[in-house]
Amino acid sequence: MTSKEKTINIDPEYGVDSRYKTPKEKAIDAVALMEARLERMKNLPKEQILKAELLQLRLKIENYLRDPDYDNKNDFAHFLELYVDTIYSKRSEFAEDINVTPVFLSKVINKHREPKDEFILKLMIHSEKVFKNWGDFPKELWYQVYFHEKLSNTMSSQHKWSAKLEEQVKVSPTIVK
């Protein structure tokens, strides 16, 4: 290979080996990096922290929607709680901003009440306004989470409802040949 060919083929994104060679090397790097990061974090504006937390929420929701397994910890109420607590220091302030009572909000977050359509629509509008300043958040995500949870609940409890309902459902033999 000529030196010209070598130059053409050198690419800093081809074959990058970044593995630590020894545990000691890894440990030393870890300490130095953590010190530097903590120092940099001291100067981090609050807006950037909020931006990171809201992006984290969006990514968690997107991961939840991609994941077909039902996880009790991740549901509409959980994501709503994260959303409210990320933006507000008091949940009652959020309740006021979307014109619902703090009691209603508390019941939705604690899964004692279903969110009404109107509540979800208000939440969509609120998210749209918040994320206008802090990043991208498809407003339909709230509805997707809500229905994903419904679907997951339905499918995971199939053993409870399917046998009883199957007795009531028949398909005409002319349709199924």
Partner 1 sequence: MTIVEIQTGKIYPIEILPVKSIDYKSLSKARYFFDWREEREAETYKLTIKGEHDILGLVSLERIPAEWRIHIRLLTVSEENRGNKKVFENIAGNLIAEVSKMAVAQFGKFACVSLRPKSSIAQHYVTKYKMNVTGLTLSLEVPEILDLINEYDHD
Distance in Å, CB of 91 to partner 1, minimum: 20
Q: Is 175 exposed, middle or buried (0-12, 13-18, 19+ CB in 10 A)?
A: exposed
Task: Give the footprint of partner 1 on this chain (CB under 8 A).
Answer: 8-20, 29-30, 32-34, 36-37, 40-41, 44, 48-49, 51-53, 55-56, 59-60, 63, 135-136
Q: On the CB side of 63, how many CA atoms lie within 13 Å of its CA?
A: 9
Residue 132 or residue 150: which is nearer to partner 1 going by CB?
A: 132
Distance in Å, CB of 87 to partner 1, minimum: 14
Distance in Å, CB of 68 to partner 1, minimum: 15
Cβ atoms within 10 Å of 56's Cβ, excluding its own: 12
| Structure-token pair, residue 112 | 């004692």
Distance in Å, CB of 133 to partner 1, minimum: 13
Residue 44 or residue 155: which is nearer to partner 1 going by CB?
A: 44
Residue 19 or residue 159: which is nearer to partner 1 going by CB?
A: 19
- CA–CA distance, 24 with 71 (Å, rounded to integer): 38
Residue 18 or residue 174: which is nearer to partner 1 going by CB?
A: 18
DSSP state at residue 2 = -
Cβ atoms within 10 Å of 108's Cβ, excluding its own: 21
Residue 51 or residue 91: which is nearer to partner 1 going by CB?
A: 51
Distance in Å, CB of 45 to partner 1, minimum: 8
- CA–CA distance, 43 with 102 (Å, rounded to integer): 35
